[in-house]
Amino acid sequence: MTILVTGATGALGRLVVDGLLDRGAAPTDIIAGARDTAKAADLTDRGVRVVRLDYDDPATVRAAVEGVDAVLLISSSEVGHRIAQHRSVIDAARNAGVSKFVYTSAPRATTTDLVLAPEHKATEEAIVASGLPSVILRNNWYTENYASDLEAARATGVLAASTGAGRVASASRRDFADAAAVVLLDDGHLGSVYELGGDTAWDYTELAAAMTEVTRRTVEFRDVSLDDRVTGLKAAGLDPGTAGFVAAIDTGIRNGALAGTDGSLSRLIGRPTTPLVDGLRALV
């Protein structure tokens, strides 16, 4: 079975390739799609076939998908452009007769009010409409998303956010990558929608405590108003639009959008998910 991994030079894509190889996939059965193939020289050295795949260039997408059995569509990082980019992959996969289509979506994408969900919802709807045999992986937050917060906390001793007592069921990116590798390689997952998250949901007071352990500096969680959060983000160098977007994610967390965890991720990968403190420690 040939497996195409899109976005293969990104942080998640590289880990998915690792997960496939670790689970016995032959390097020659893996196709790594990358916008810039020069960044994938290490994958070529491992025997993985590398092809150019640019979400904004449908011709490269069609060429990459031709003759492939399974496709992992890793969601684009270009917020505001994702729907068209994803549809180019979906259409190419349908026309090529792909027998398994896997997509990395967002938690409760079709029902949540999380600010980043609408493009994922539209993508899921496009997959359903295409008729592709599919698996949806609704990935919760990556612990690695807190790398910049960890550095700021190390410098200031403060973790500022507008999340209140909201909880986050994060896991390390490798945990989610391993889940993708499992569903790509194993039978029995077609038609499934998995809500994937860490085994334990934590709040920002617990996040501050974990940062304290990792940095060996006392870190205080400071729950600020939404306006103050936006002001602080702009002072840190974010443009107004991005600052508002990040603050809106805080609101989603406050409202419980990232709190769900039912053990699906650990069951898929056959081990506990990476604890928060261990995931943060890997960032130091």
CATH of the domain at 106: 3.40.50.720
- The CA distance from 25 to 38, in Å, is 23
By the 8 A CB rule, do 6 and 76 touch? Answer: no
Domain membership of residue 265 (yes or no) is no
Residue type, 231: T
Mean per-residue pLDDT over the chain, rounded: 96
User: Are 26 and 92 found together in one domain?
Assistant: yes
- The CA distance from 209 to 220, in Å, is 8
Instruction: Give the mean pLDDT of 46-73.
Output: 96
pLDDT band at 218, cuts 50/70/90? very high
- Among 96, 124, 139, give the residue marking a domain's end: 139
Q: Which residue has the higher pLDDT, 149 or 80?
A: 149
By the 8 A CB rule, do 53 and 35 touch? Answer: yes
Q: pTM, whole model, 2 decimals?
A: 0.96
**Helix and strand element counts for the chain (H, E):** 12, 11
- The parent domain of residue 150 ranges over 144-168+199-260+274-282
Nearest to 197 by CA among 166, 176, 220, 180: 176
Query: What domain count does the chain have?
Result: 2
- The CA distance from 204 to 212, in Å, is 12
Domain membership of residue 253 (yes or no) is yes
User: Are 150 and 133 found together in one domain?
Assistant: no
Domain membership of residue 203 (yes or no) is yes
**pLDDT exceeds 90 at position 79:** no
Domain membership of residue 187 (yes or no) is no
